[in-house]
Amino acid sequence: MSLANEGAAKARKHAYAVAPAATMVIFGAGGDLTKRLVTPALYNLVLGGMLADDFSIIGVDIADLTDESWRKSLSDTIHSFVGQKGVEFEAKSIDPKAWQWLANRMMYMKGDFANPKTFEQLGQKLKSKEGDKGGNRLFYLAVADRFFGPLIEQLGAAGLTKESDGAWRRVVVEKPFGHDLKSAKALNSQILGVLDESQIYRIDHFLGKETVQNIMMLRFGNVAFESLWNRDHIDHVQISAIETVGVEQRGGFYDHAGALRDMVPNHLFQLLAVAAMEPPVSFDADAVRAEKSKVLQAVHHFDREGALRDSVRGQYDAGEVGGQKANAYRAEPQVDPQSNTETYIAAKLMIDNWRWGGVPFYIRTGKHLAARRTEIVIQFRTPPFTLFRQTGTESLPANQLVLRIQPDDGISLEFNAKVPGPQVVPKTVGMEFRYKDYFSETPGTGYEILLYDCMCGDATLFQRADFVEAGWAVVQPILDAWSSKKPVFPNYASGSFGPKDADALLARDGRAWRNIS
């Protein structure tokens, strides 16, 4: 039995269908994203038997590479991850048979994205491979965002996105999708002038993580939770995506983006939408995405005073992270020594609908912090204290449901129990569910299920145009307010818990962030 057939048998055993045959064209084939995330994800799909025997890859980039040198660069990178901890792709080893299966299907083409001849040559290469019968095509834009619109226009002008004879044409667009509301609307208008919305897959690898997908299962598959998922029982919600790493080698990009643009309209708002959405009528892609979009449309828009009051920005100074000395942001490579770009953002958001009226959603994300954690904390209301007044108990902690996205994916529920003895003494205890205790773990980047869904035509986990624009509509007033007031940076040490103003944001409401240590 061939490797592909062995994998297909394994996939069927786990109820996965093999994805339709397709040619995947990766623009930016020599870039970091292709090496670190996309290629390892494809390798994992090979291991799972989820790619068809006729699957192939054409890499396109400006670098002067050959088929063989491109394959070698990808091979060197994926093998370098073996044994590493804390990287997106953690592997104990690389299966030589699976890697060779993928490498044999890789072809490289040198090309300038601005030159129409590149797309003529690509069209000839695709036609030569597909023959007269045609074939499915997945175009992946692993490039800087300034190329998104022009690349898609070039694809359209060359006739490479036209669907016919049952063959599909799909385009995967990475983040950032715009830099503000105006640019996001312009980009949507530009690409929708070439493609139908059904052909566009705006990707966010956070949604490829199993825990994010399981939030919907937790809520809508368990009456015990969904019946409590409202303003009558929940006091507030915290959404955190905090990192110990700094900007690394991304200073050139990051200094023009910042934490707000880089993380909030996509990653954090995806988590917000999944946590706050209404039950969809089905798990059909449009039904799910419609409910997620409604959440962002219901988020209260700030005026200038509200934006300055209910948002906090920070920039890291020198310090220690994990016992190692860490540079200040302004000392990082490719960063302006006088930069006022934020590396931390916290905000208080209100959702103006019946389910969530009066319930604050606190969000935060930052770099060079004391711990790495992505989680959603559902804090329930505190119980009436009348019953416990005569017991000597001073207060009862609120119940918390914690949905951990990374690391150590899982769910925990904290509740109060009585300490054994003659007196009523409460103690917070926990029930813990960890995915690795129940399900076999496989190294993954978060891109595996997303690439698979692209090929299968399932857009559930991808952003729709209205979601993108609704997210930027929430963020824009913060950007406008910040532009009118110069920050005092740096304002938190590397390895700390962030700026003190972020703690004050909750403290003035009588609340506090969940401890991340």
Other beta carbons within 10 Å of 433: 14
- Dihedrals phi, psi of 367, to nearest 5 degrees: -115, 160
Edge to edge, what strands does the sheet with 344-350 contain?
A: 311-314, 344-350, 360-366, 234-242, 373-380, 400-406, 410-418, 426-434
Judge residue 225's burial from the number of C-beta atoms within 10 Å of its C-beta, 0-12 exposed, 13-18 middle, 19 or more buried.
middle
- Dihedrals phi, psi of 54, to nearest 5 degrees: -85, 5
Which of 205, 236, 267, 368 does the annotation list as catalytic?
Answer: 267
| CA–CA distance, 158 with 506 (Å, rounded to integer) | 54
If you search the block for the tokens 């019968």, which residue do you land on?
A: 133
In the numeric block, which tokens belong to residue 400?
Answer: 């918390």
Q: Is 4 helix (H, G, I), strand (E, B) or coil?
A: helix
| CA–CA distance, 344 with 268 (Å, rounded to integer) | 13
Other beta carbons within 10 Å of 97: 10
Nearest CA-CA partner of 105 in 48, 22, 36: 22
| CA–CA distance, 19 with 39 (Å, rounded to integer) | 17
Nearest CA-CA partner of 503 in 339, 287, 303, 348: 348
Evaluate whether 51 touches 4 at the Cβ level (below 8 Å): yes
Residue 205 annotated to the active site: no
Task: Supply the DSSP symbol for 105.
Answer: T
| CA–CA distance, 490 with 341 (Å, rounded to integer) | 10
Evaluate whether 339 touches 491 at the Cβ level (below 8 Å): no
- Which positions ≥6 away from 504 have C-beta within 8 Å? none
Active site residues: 267
